[in-house]
Chain A
Amino acid sequence: MSDVSLVRTPPRFRSATGESAGTRWALIAVAFTGLAILVFAPLIAVFVVALADGVAASLESLASRDARDAIRLTLTIAAISVPLNAAFGIAAAWFITKFDFRGKAFLITLIDLPFSVSPVVAGLCIVLMFGANSALGGWLVANGFPIVFAMPGIILATMFVTFPFVARELIPVMIEQGRAEEEAGLTLGASGWRVFWTVTLPNIRWALLYGVLLCNARAMGEFGAVAVVSGKIRGQTATMPTTIEMLYQEYLSVAAFSLAAVLALLALVTLLLKTALEIRHADQLAATHRP
């Protein structure tokens, strides 16, 4: 891999398995330009617009009641849905990798299903299932437990769109690690839970953290599905992304972009941690991820 490095090869003995220096730099330039326009520019624009009226104005808008309510709600939603999905991911990965049963491939396809369903359609599904004019939803509302246009609906929508994240990260890692270590633990007389806590969990901890990280980023930023189920009631069901939309449509640009900047910072921290994990614990992450 290192033989196509920056090491200058004399032109006459150009490596037969590399491109010419000119081609190389041209491709690198295209990559840089493309990502600069497509990725870096939008990222920078968020902060530029957020700080257009100065740091004080930006911070002031974040201290407003709407913004604080939205931040609190988004944190609450993530704090509930991410651990639930992590628990699901661990259970599903355990079931799929420690046992042999028919229909395993089909089960994995079902778990991956939310990735190919539009978030808006996901939200629609939840409205149709639990909305006030469905049988179940009507009964729940009558008993004082509304789901749609309330927090449970937002949690369900968030869990739907982030459903596969943890399972998907854990399954390849646990397949690769096999069952021998757990079997050894069991033979030595450890209980099932003890084997899980002392053998399996330490083996999968970095992959689990990786999955949780991605799951959390998506959970806090989900917009389409939440926009459908939440009803966007200020102070009650307006999450950070839906509040950004409302502020933007009211032409409160600095307020909208300040809140957006908070989410952009979260995205940056997520990427930073993810890259750190990839560098330090590459061998313990899913095989599809690069060394």
Chain B
Amino acid sequence: MGRPLIHRSPMPGLGLSMGITLTMLCIIVLLPIGALLLKGANYGLAGIWETVNRERVWAALYLSFRLSLLAAIFNLVFGVLLAWVLVRYRFPGRRILDAAVDLPFALPTAVAGISLTALYAPKGVFGQLAAEIGWKIAYTQWGIFIALVFVGLPFVTRTVQPVVEEIEREVEEVSATLGATRLHTLRHVILPMLTPAALTGFALALARAVGEYGSVIFIAGNIPLVTEIAPLLIIIQLEEFNYDAAAAIGIAMLLISFAMLLVINLIQVWSRRRIGYV
């Protein structure tokens, strides 16, 4: 261990900035997460398993994960398309479209939740249209899907956009000169360059959707086993002062989040090795 922990530097403020950073990180983030893990440790693996291994909890975790995956896949395709259109084409209204992509980040989830419900409920504008073909959206899994698409919308576009901007035109020209059709170039030259960023955005959208609560609960209907999401189960347990069970489900969700964080990091390492940048 020849390398010092902190290199000597002429810069001032080491103690102050390190102190503020570590203290606030501990109080706001690490200690509370530690409290959850400690609660889980006291409860024991067997206890956690017993709580999670119930039909209602499995159904909720499975529902949250499956619909989040579907919504993230939708966002992957639509997000890449949106990034391409916003960077490559010039058309009236482009700036507004570009700004609108961020609305799901800026609009509070509860607002999005009641608004989507108003639209897709049987009496709502879209709900009525769907009802005519016998399609029920609000208070079914379709409603949850739509809410999750909404909250995950910006992620893929925002990670892919800078990469599209950096693609050098020459690469596409070379491809065309070598006789590739436009479709072939897009498929074999452009798409591989976008893949790492798109996957990062996909993983971020997925992580966000799995933990999402505010925009989903209004439109979901919250029927146990059918439209009850995992975060709602935690709230229900807390309202019954069943802290052990809430902690057990919370830990299960935390583990899913950590696993996804790991995947995001692996994707970035992989893409750095493959193309030299993230």
A residues at B contact (CB < 8 Å): 1-6, 16-20, 24, 27-28, 30-32, 34-35, 37-43, 45-46, 49, 84, 87-88, 91-92, 94-96, 98-102, 107, 109-111, 113-122, 124-131, 133-134, 156, 159-160, 163, 179, 182-183, 186, 191-193, 195-196, 214, 217-218, 220-224, 227-228, 240-242, 244-245, 248, 256-257, 260, 263-264, 267-268, 270-272, 274-275, 287-291
Complex contacts, B3 vs chain A, CB 8 Å: 102
Q: Which residue of chain A is the closest to B165 with respect to CB atoms?
A: A290
B residues at A contact (CB < 8 Å): 3, 5-7, 9-14, 16-18, 20-21, 24-25, 28-36, 39, 78, 81-82, 84-91, 93, 95, 97-112, 114-116, 118-119, 124-126, 146, 149-150, 153, 161-162, 165, 169, 172-173, 176-177, 182, 204, 207, 210-214, 218, 231, 234-235, 238, 243, 246-247, 250, 253-254, 257-258, 260-261, 265
B110 lies within 8 A of A223 (CB)? yes
Scoring B7, B110, B173 by chain A CB atoms within 10 A of each residue's CB, the highest score goes to: B110
Other-chain residue from B6, B9, B115, B211 in contact with A45 (beta carbon distance below 8 A): B115
Q: Which residue of chain A is the closest to B154 with respect to CB atoms?
A: A39
What is the CA–CA distance of A45 and B153 in the complex, to the nearest angstrom? Answer: 18
Question: How far apart are B71's CB and chain A's nearest CB, in angstroms?
Answer: 11
Complex contacts, B7 vs chain A, CB 8 Å: 99-101
What is the CA–CA distance of A162 and B213 in the complex, to the nearest angstrom? Answer: 16
Complex contacts, B29 vs chain A, CB 8 Å: 110-111, 113-114, 160, 163
Complex contacts, B82 vs chain A, CB 8 Å: 31, 34-35
B104 lies within 8 A of A99 (CB)? no
Question: How far apart are B247's CB and chain A's nearest CB, in angstroms?
Answer: 6
A179 lies within 8 A of B125 (CB)? no
B11 lies within 8 A of A179 (CB)? yes
B17 lies within 8 A of A94 (CB)? yes
Other-chain residue from A35, A121, A218, A270 in contact with B254 (beta carbon distance below 8 A): A121
What is the CA–CA distance of A163 and B93 in the complex, to the nearest angstrom? Answer: 34
11 further contact pairs, Cβ within 8 A, besides A30-B81, A31-B81, A260-B114? A27-B81, A39-B101, A45-B124, A49-B115, A102-B3, A110-B25, A118-B212, A192-B12, A222-B108, A228-B238, A263-B108
Given A125-B250, A160-B29, A223-B214: A256 touches B85 (CB 8 Å cut-off): no
Complex contacts, B102 vs chain A, CB 8 Å: 271, 274
What is the CA–CA distance of A191 and B102 in the complex, to the nearest angstrom? Answer: 41
8 A–B contacts, CB within 8 A, in A order: A27-B81, A32-B97, A45-B119, A117-B33, A160-B32, A224-B213, A241-B109, A271-B102
What is the CA–CA distance of A126 and B35 in the complex, to the nearest angstrom? Answer: 8
Complex contacts, A223 vs chain B, CB 8 Å: 108-110, 213-214
What is the CA–CA distance of A222 and B109 in the complex, to the nearest angstrom? Answer: 7
What is the CA–CA distance of A240 and B161 in the complex, to the nearest angstrom? Answer: 34
Question: How far apart are B171's CB and chain A's nearest CB, in angstroms?
Answer: 9
